[in-house]
Amino acid sequence: MKWGVLGGGNISKTFIDSIKRLSSEKFVALASKSGRVVGEPEKFYDDYEKLLEDPEIDAVYIALPNNMHAKYAINAMKAGKHVLCEKPAFMKKEEGIKVKEVSRETGKFFMEAFMYRFHPIHKILKGMVMSKRYGKLKHIDFLFAIDKWNQWKAQNFSNYRCYPEYGGGAMYDLGCYFVDFVRWITGKMPELVYKNMRHDNGVDIEDIIVTKLDDIFATAYLSFVSFSASITLIFEKAYVTVPYGVLGRENHKLIIISKEKNSENEKVITENALPYVLEIKHFSETVSAGKDPEISIDESIELAAFTENVLS
């Protein structure tokens, strides 16, 4: 599959490097209005629409500010391209409904890019939940914090995440991972129980979110003012931690502390994989086979609706 990329940011560079690891895929073109060029494209456009008009391109990866995702996903599919879109795919539920309609009308695929789902360590973790290896899941503790706010503020709020009109804030940027992870690992959408948010420049920069799914509680700490990334699942007979959470790392591990026969046991499982590469491979194979992608548009619509509720 031949790819075009919208956006010249760091995540685009990571994605392009991942494309180049797959012999079945080819990176053809980049569009960046900032003029920044990453990944050594064969073609460069300073206009997103011009890239979408390129007949050589089969699929596009959208890595633009959040408020532009739905617009360019729709335009790309109408131009005959399949779409892999950075998270969060939509700022509002209505955007997702429109994208779904266009996908159906054009026959083009759309998938939100949650690369962590493709790392084997997270698949092992989900298997533990499904098999009840350590009993029932009772609680999920999700931490995701990037210490960037003071830097952005010192640079006169230089990043789009600093502005509400661009879909900025910790809930959009980091909270989407929390909601998707909880829904994916349990098979159910969480219900909002409590929220507490600290704001600056009109966006949330530090959040506590508490949700519930039947008898399971799931809590999140999301922040632009500290550094942390981990997930802990508490079962009846063990607690299991992923130290780097949903970060797009090659090396991930599970730390399992279990209690069996009145004694505590520690076990560490390590897996090495390239989640972005696996995500691209899955999307390409899905398109070729005409199968449903790992992450459906309906899931992305549900996530957008949940986020709207939190931010209302």
pLDDT attached to residue 260 = 77
The rounded distance, in Å, linking the Cα atoms of 97 and 114 is: 19
The amino acid that residue 128 corresponds to is M
**Residue where one domain finishes, among candidates 59, 86, 114:** 114
The rounded distance, in Å, linking the Cα atoms of 19 and 60 is: 12
Residues 294, 114, 94, 144: is their CA dihedral positive or negative? positive
pLDDT attached to residue 30 = 98
pLDDT attached to residue 247 = 96
My answer on whether 129 and 46 are in the same domain is: no
My answer on whether 176 and 158 are in the same domain is: yes
CA 174 to chain centroid, in Å, comes to 8
**CB under 8 Å to 191, separation ≥6 — which residues?**
211, 212, 213
Q: Where are the alpha helices (DSSP H) in the chain?
A: 10-19, 48-52, 69-78, 93-106, 120-131, 149-154, 170, 176-186, 275-289, 297-311
Q: What is the CA radius of gyration of the chain?
A: 20
My answer on whether 226 and 140 are in the same domain is: yes
The amino acid that residue 153 corresponds to is K
Share of the chain above pLDDT 90, in %: 97
My answer on whether 138 and 210 are in the same domain is: yes
CB 21 within 8 A of CB 10: no
My answer on whether 124 and 154 are in the same domain is: yes
In a domain, 54, yes or no: yes
* Secondary structure of residue 14 in the 3-state scheme: helix
The amino acid that residue 229 corresponds to is A
**Residue where one domain finishes, among candidates 272, 292, 307:** 272
pLDDT band at 262 (very low <50, low <70, confident <90, very high): confident
pLDDT attached to residue 140 = 98
In a domain, 307, yes or no: no
**Residue entry with tokens 């079945």:** 24
- Sheet with 251-260, strands from edge to edge, namely 191-200, 203-213, 216-223, 137-145, 228-235, 238-242, 251-260, 263-272
pLDDT band at 222 (very low <50, low <70, confident <90, very high): very high
My answer on whether 32 and 109 are in the same domain is: yes
Peptide bond preceding 275 in cis form (omega within 30 of 0): no
Q: What is the CATH number of the domain that holds 254?
A: 3.30.360.10
Selection from 29, 64, 34 nearest residue 50 by Cα: 29
Q: Which of 88-104 are b and which e, b meaning 16 or more Cβ less than 10 Å from the residue's Cβ?
A: bbbbbbebbbbbbebbe
pLDDT attached to residue 263 = 78
In a domain, 167, yes or no: yes
**Mean pLDDT of all residues in the chain?**
97
pLDDT band at 272 (very low <50, low <70, confident <90, very high): very high
Q: What is the CATH number of the domain that holds 70?
A: 3.40.50.720
My answer on whether 150 and 201 are in the same domain is: yes
Mean local confidence (pLDDT), 243-260: 95
**Residue where one domain finishes, among candidates 89, 114, 139:** 114
Domain that residue 152 falls in: 120-272
Number of domains in the chain: 2
CB 117 within 8 A of CB 88: no
My answer on whether 268 and 150 are in the same domain is: yes
pLDDT band at 261 (very low <50, low <70, confident <90, very high): confident
In a domain, 258, yes or no: yes
| Res 266 pLDDT > 80 | yes
pLDDT attached to residue 235 = 97
Mean local confidence (pLDDT), 186-205: 97
Q: What angle do CA 5, 79, 289 make, to 5 degrees?
A: 75
pTM for the whole structure: 0.97
Selection from 246, 237, 248, 236 nearest residue 274 by Cα: 248
- Sheet with 110-113, strands from edge to edge, namely 43-45, 26-31, 2-6, 59-62, 82-86, 110-113
Mean local confidence (pLDDT), 87-110: 98
My answer on whether 81 and 154 are in the same domain is: no
In a domain, 186, yes or no: yes
The amino acid that residue 200 corresponds to is D
My answer on whether 249 and 105 are in the same domain is: no
**CB under 8 Å to 33, separation ≥6 — which residues?**
46, 47, 48
In a domain, 53, yes or no: yes
pLDDT attached to residue 285 = 98
126 burial (CB, 10 Å; 0-12 / 13-18 / 19+) is middle
pLDDT band at 209 (very low <50, low <70, confident <90, very high): very high
pLDDT attached to residue 206 = 98
My answer on whether 99 and 161 are in the same domain is: no
In a domain, 11, yes or no: yes
My answer on whether 16 and 152 are in the same domain is: no
In a domain, 292, yes or no: no
